[in-house]
Amino acid sequence: MTDRLFKSLFASTRKALSDKNIEEAERLTSRLLETYPGEAASHGFRLELLLSKRQLQEAERLAKRLIIQFPSSAGIWFNAGSAAFRLKRYPEARRRFEESEKLFSSVKAQKWLAKCLVNMGCFDDAEAMLQRLVDADPYCGADFAWLYERKGDIARARKAARDHLSRFPNDRLVRDQVARLDAVELDPKEVIAQVALLVDFGEAVPDALVSQYVAALAAVGDSDGVRRFIAEEKAHLGRAAVVNLAWTCHRLQLHDMAYDLFVLVWEQHLLNFKLLNTLDYSARCTGRALELAALYEAVAPRQPELWGRIKKLKAAAGKGREADPSN
């Protein structure tokens, strides 16, 4: 690791990834792999690159190989944990982050381990870990806000989020979280009025308010308003907002709307079995099983696990509804 060329390539690749210069990062990573194929860092950059490009399934396949090939590399274990986390495989992500932390203790590994614990519902353990990181990482305030929201403690979540924004006012995700938390306790008519005011002033409805607005419309019995709003806005929503809105529609038993939304994003969630199961359910509920099977067939040659879903959808076409798979 003392080679000057290696150090130069390492620093340049790290900068390219940090700057999201994917083309340059790919070029440098290829050179590292060509010149230093035995270095864990060369392969680690390849894994980071796949994660940056959102090629999560390929990243996971590579991660499984690399933790066997370089079992003593904390960086490899950390990036492998990131791959599992992005795929929502939180227990496996936890195991990998813990292994990274054993090999080389770092604030970064501990923080992502805490994120895993939050998403696994291990709230007390996550809170204890985050408390130890506060001095080293002031950005932990955002993690506390998410932790308390997951626990259902809306008041503490709102306070943590606002405290965080007082230090980092440009954090868009936490600003959206505050808007979402504020909307949770509003009367449905207040939410509708708030959105109407935004529209009157020519403002876009923030992604963070979209699901609450749809739920509010449903609560006052305006199903036509729900369908009209979704039809008008779905093309302008971010991917995360589409997923959240799809789940909201599913919970409200608006299966046609849920289907229309899930079908926009399913190809980015091929390993999210709960999402795919619910999409299948929405298709069956709305008589669109064959339509969905056709969509799956276009992708199945490169995702063979979809053939089983295709077979079941075709068999279920024309049959009655099933039990809700998301329960």
Of the three residues 90, 106, 122, the one that is the final residue of a domain is: 106
**What is the C-alpha to C-alpha distance for residues 327 and 325, in angstroms, rounded to an integer?**
6
Q: 140 phi and psi, to 5 degrees?
A: -60, -15
Please tell me the number of Cα atoms within 13 Å of 7 on its side-chain side.
Answer: 4
Domain of residue 45, residue span: 4-106
Whole-number pLDDT of residue 318: 61
Judge whether 146 lies within some domain.
no
Of the three residues 69, 85, 106, the one that is the final residue of a domain is: 106
Judge whether 155 lies within some domain.
no
Judge whether 52 lies within some domain.
yes
289 CB neighbour count, 10 Å cutoff: 23
In this structure, the answer to whether residues 194 and 307 fall within a common structural domain is yes
Judge whether 35 lies within some domain.
yes
**What is the C-alpha to C-alpha distance for residues 40 and 62, in angstroms, rounded to an integer?**
13
In this structure, the answer to whether residues 102 and 196 fall within a common structural domain is no
Judge whether 120 lies within some domain.
no
**What is the C-alpha to C-alpha distance for residues 215 and 198, in angstroms, rounded to an integer?**
17
Of the three residues 106, 127, 143, the one that is the final residue of a domain is: 106
Q: Which stretches of 220-304 are DSSP H helices? A: 223-233, 239-251, 255-265, 273-285, 289-299
Q: pLDDT tens, position by position, for the chain (327 residues)? A: 458 999 999 999 999 999 999 999 999 999 999 999 999 999 999 999 999 998 998 999 999 999 999 999 999 999 999 999 999 899 999 999 999 999 999 999 999 999 999 999 999 999 999 999 999 999 999 999 999 988 888 899 999 999 999 999 999 889 988 888 887 777 889 888 988 888 787 777 877 788 889 999 998 999 899 999 999 888 888 888 899 899 999 999 999 999 999 999 999 888 788 899 999 999 999 999 999 999 999 999 988 999 999 999 999 886 544 555 555
Judge whether 159 lies within some domain.
no
Whole-number pLDDT of residue 1: 47
The answer to whether the beta carbons of residues 258 and 250 sit under 8 Å apart is yes
**Closest C-alpha to 177, from 148, 138, 216:** 148
Q: Which residues contact 199 (CB under 8 A, 6 or more apart)?
A: 205
Structural domains in the chain (count): 2
Judge whether 212 lies within some domain.
yes
In this structure, the answer to whether residues 190 and 102 fall within a common structural domain is no
Judge whether 126 lies within some domain.
no
CA distances from 209 to 14, 192, 212, 298, 308 (A): 36, 10, 5, 34, 37
CA distances from 4 to 8, 140, 225, 253 (A): 6, 36, 64, 61
Give the type of residue at 82.
Answer: S
CATH assignment at residue 248: 1.25.40
Q: Tell me, yes or no, if the pTM score tops 0.75.
A: no
CATH assignment at residue 24: 1.25.40.10
What percent of the chain is helix, strand and coil (3-state, nearest 5)?
Answer: 75, 0, 25
Q: Please, which contacts does 60-68 make with residues 24 or more away whose CB atoms are closer than 8 Å?
A: 60/84, 60/87, 60/271, 63/96, 66/40, 67/96, 67/99
